[in-house]
Amino acid sequence: MKKVAVVLCLFSWMADVQADLSSFPICENTSPQSGPAVDGNLAVWVDYRDGSENANIYGRLLPGGTESEICPIMGNQTNPAVSGSVIVWQDSRKGTSDDDIYGYDFNTGIPLTICADSANQQFPDVSGRIVVWQEYNGSNWDIYGVNLDGGAKFAICTANGDQQYPAISGKYVVWQDNRGGSGYNIYCRDLTAPASSEFLICGAAGDQIYPDIDGNIIVWQDPRTDSSNDIYGYELGVGEFPVCVRTERQNQPAVSGNWIVWRDRRNGTANYDIYGYDFSTKTETMICTASGHQNAPAVSAQYVVWQDAVNNGDIYGAALPIQASVTVLSPNGGQTWIAGSQQQVQWNSQGTISTVKIELYNGTAWQTLADGVANTGAYNMDVPAGINSQQCLIKVSDAANASVADQSDAAFTIFQCMLKADLTGDCYVDMADFAEFAEQWLVCGNPFDAEWCQNN
């Protein structure tokens, strides 16, 4: 993508890239495959095993599922997308000049006719039960959508110029837009907001194209540094950030969760590779740098998939590394504990964490309650005596890596019970305490001296 021979990297603090992730074949049929998509562990792709003029959609559960033919209808089915069990695609069964949008529920086996209007519909995407696509109005392309649970097709953006390549996540839709006539920019619309309420994400010089979105993160291909394109991103409510800015070509970005993936030519013009960037850790990863071209990456929370062009186009995938994390479940704010009582701390974790450290903020300082505790997700602890505070917090961390930690989302209370008549330890004087008192009435408490009670 770039003119300079020297490699630029805006992330001087970025960790060194590591070896490729361990990849595995998803489909190695002798015919070409292309255009993969993935969500969760369901991967789909375009497959030409029935002939070059009869592209069909196939799918497979990763990593060990059996491949299934999703749509065997004559004509070309292309550009698949998937969300949960819903698969959508562009379909030319009526003729090459009149593409429609069809779909299939992988769990129920029910085919879906999503939009078969006389207009030309292309490049669908899906999030939950909302499907979006670009539609030709006779002079330019607009963005439309439909709710699979009912309701008519609705317009998302019909501004001047072309709006193309929509992507959706939740209530947000993004697309490339040349309404100004001088180049493509990235626009976004909140579907819960009124029509014509779209807003500009990036209006930098040159064409910003091929956007993708997941959650609050938007990514796209961007030529502002030079004509060969880089990868940029935008966090809704925060702002723009560079993902990969180098002197070679980066394109075809995709995003899921904290993972951004793209096609990268840093290793030679005859060798497109797949790279990734973890937004949470600000680290770059080599996903696949095998010989030849790897194209069209797609990513989910668990897997990244791509087309390997070496063997006439096969589909490969790799499991993404799981970042170690801890999430405190209880106490997570609002609880009330009595000093000296026994309580349970609960947490969830991901990644490799053998033992944890548990700490308590007592209102003035942190104190260690346990260290090197087995990572079972629960620990019964004796609440320290002498604490009176409404600002207490619990922190659970990886005993081997203090940076992997979480603490209560909000403060909770620990107090000392001052009721001397509370005999049951619940800091409340009631009939249970009276029953305890009555049971011990005139009972001598010294087992070594029978005259003790008489003497006192």
CATH of residue 122: 2.120.10.30
Q: Is residue 442 part of a domain?
A: no
Q: Do 345 and 380 share a domain, yes or no?
A: yes
Residue 426 lies inside a defined structural domain of this protein: no
- Whether residue 450 is contained in a domain is answered as no
Same domain, 190 and 295: yes
Residue 69 and residue 60 in contact, taking contact as beta carbons nearer than 8 Å: no
Pair (308, 338) in one structural domain:
no
361 & 312 share domain: no
Is residue 452 situated within a structural domain?
no
Look at residues 416, 431, 447 and tell me which one is the last residue of a structural domain: 416
CB 274 within 8 A of CB 260: no
Question: Is 447 domain-assigned?
Answer: no
The tens-digit pLDDT sequence of the chain (456 residues) is 333 333 333 333 344 446 899 999 999 999 999 999 999 999 999 999 987 778 999 999 999 899 999 998 888 999 999 999 999 999 999 876 789 999 999 999 999 999 999 899 999 999 999 999 999 999 999 999 999 998 899 999 999 999 999 999 999 999 999 998 889 999 999 999 988 899 999 999 999 999 999 999 999 999 998 778 999 999 999 999 999 999 899 999 999 999 999 999 999 887 899 999 999 889 999 999 998 899 999 999 889 999 998 877 899 999 998 878 899 999 999 999 988 889 999 999 988 899 999 999 999 999 999 999 999 999 999 999 889 999 999 999 999 999 899 999 999 999 887 666 666 667 676 787 678 778 777 677 777 777 778 766
- Is 40:51 a contact under the CB 8 Å cutoff? no
Q: Is residue 190 part of a domain?
A: yes
Q: Which residue, 194, 187, 193, is CA-closest to 213?
A: 187
Give the range of the structural domain holding residue 400, as residue numbers without chain letter: 325-416
Report long-range pairs for 202-209 (Cβ below 8 Å, ≥24 apart): 202/232, 202/234, 202/240, 207/176, 207/183, 208/176, 208/183, 208/184, 208/232, 209/165, 209/176, 209/184
**pLDDT confidence of residue 419:** 63
- CATH code, domain carrying 404: 2.60.40.10
Please check whether residues 288 and 399 belong to one and the same domain: no
What's the confidence (pLDDT) of residue 114? 97
- Is 129 a member of any domain? yes
Domain C-terminal end among 293, 319, 345: 319
Residues 6+ apart with CB under 8 A from 69: 47, 56, 57, 58
190 shares a domain with 123 = yes
Overall domain count for the chain: 2
Same domain, 411 and 297: no
Residue 4 falls within a domain, yes or no? no
pTM of this structure:
0.76
Give Cα 156 to chain centroid, integer Å.
24
How far apart, in whole angstroms, are the C-alpha atoms of residue 102 and residue 80? 10
Looking at residue 47, what is its pLDDT?
Answer: 95
The reply to whether 335 and 314 lie within a common domain is no
311 and 343, same domain (yes or no): no
The residue among 53, 54, 55, 62 whose CA lies nearest residue 82 is 62
> Are 307 and 339 in a shared domain?
no
Domain end call among 301, 319, 337 = 319
Do 121 and 228 lie in a common domain?
A: yes
Total length of the chain: 456
Check whether residue 229 and residue 307 sit in a common domain.
yes
